[in-house]
Amino acid sequence: MKLWAPPANVKVLAGVDEVGRGPLAGDVVTAAVILPSCHQIVGLADSKALTSRQRENLYEDITGQAITWAVGRATVAEIDRFNILQATMMAMRRAVIALLVKPDYVAVDGNRVPNWEYRSEAVVKGDGRVEVISAASIIAKVVRDTEMVALDRKYPGYGFAKNKGYGTPQHQEALSRLGPTQVHRRSFAPVAREITEQQAALF
């Protein structure tokens, strides 16, 4: 697969990626990163292709060497209100707005960009092709995974520390047995189905 490069006149490039569009529980988390051209970060790659230890080590390198970085999110309530796509776009916008340096171009992982004022481009599989998107994917992944581990302690039995909110068989069995928590996405079909079945059982 070909690597990607921004237009020739770009001086400040930000990369943006998200983690958590597919899970049944938890916020969707995004990150935006601007790296110096002379950074010394080795091993940047799609966060999904890395081990948790590799991600954590790279997280320290990225946050230590980045010109600026920021995290954005959309809550479970926003996901249920606006849908996951629109919530993800909101979270991306929040991450870029929070950067301490304004980018003159933004590379976004995926096939669409938010409706915003920045010059930008969607890069399919960008988390494996563009270093600043890789960096953003790693930050977003580490932040969200850490939050899901904390939610596992708050809501034991669902396996959040292991499944990170995704609809694994163990998670769906627990959802059926224990019912949805406040951090479950009620607009997602498996959760909505459990709510409907529990309500029907009351009558």
Q: What is the CATH classification number for the domain harbouring 93?
A: 3.30.420.10
Confidence at residue 190, expressed as pLDDT on a 0 to 100 scale = 96
Region 13-42: what's the mean pLDDT? 97
Question: Among residues of the chain, what percentage have pLDDT more than 70?
Answer: 97
Confidence at residue 203, expressed as pLDDT on a 0 to 100 scale = 64
pLDDT tier for residue 163 given thresholds of 50, 70 and 90: very high
Residue 165 has pLDDT above 90, yes or no: yes
Question: Among residues of the chain, what percentage have pLDDT more than 90?
Answer: 94
Q: How many domains does the chain have?
A: 1
Confidence at residue 146, expressed as pLDDT on a 0 to 100 scale = 98
Confidence at residue 198, expressed as pLDDT on a 0 to 100 scale = 79
Confidence at residue 34, expressed as pLDDT on a 0 to 100 scale = 98
What is the torsional sign of CA 171, 175, 181, 187? positive
Query: Residue 181: inside a domain, yes or no?
Result: no
Query: Residue 112: inside a domain, yes or no?
Result: yes
Query: Residue 173: inside a domain, yes or no?
Result: no
Confidence at residue 177, expressed as pLDDT on a 0 to 100 scale = 95
Mean confidence (pLDDT) of the chain: 96
Region 130-146: what's the mean pLDDT? 98
Query: Residue 197: inside a domain, yes or no?
Result: no
Residues 6 or more apart whose CB falls under 8 angstroms from that of 63 comprise 69, 139
Query: Residue 178: inside a domain, yes or no?
Result: no
Confidence at residue 128, expressed as pLDDT on a 0 to 100 scale = 94
CA nearest neighbour of 116 among 101, 137, 95 = 95
Query: Residue 132: inside a domain, yes or no?
Result: yes
Spatial separation of the C-alpha atoms in residues 144 and 105, rounded to whole Å: 25
Element (H, E) at 160: helix 160-163
- pTM here is 0.96
Find how far residue 153's CA is from the centre of its chain.
21
Query: Residue 201: inside a domain, yes or no?
Result: no
Confidence at residue 197, expressed as pLDDT on a 0 to 100 scale = 83
Residue 134 has pLDDT above 80, yes or no: yes
Q: Which domain holds residue 78?
A: 13-155
Query: Residue 193: inside a domain, yes or no?
Result: no
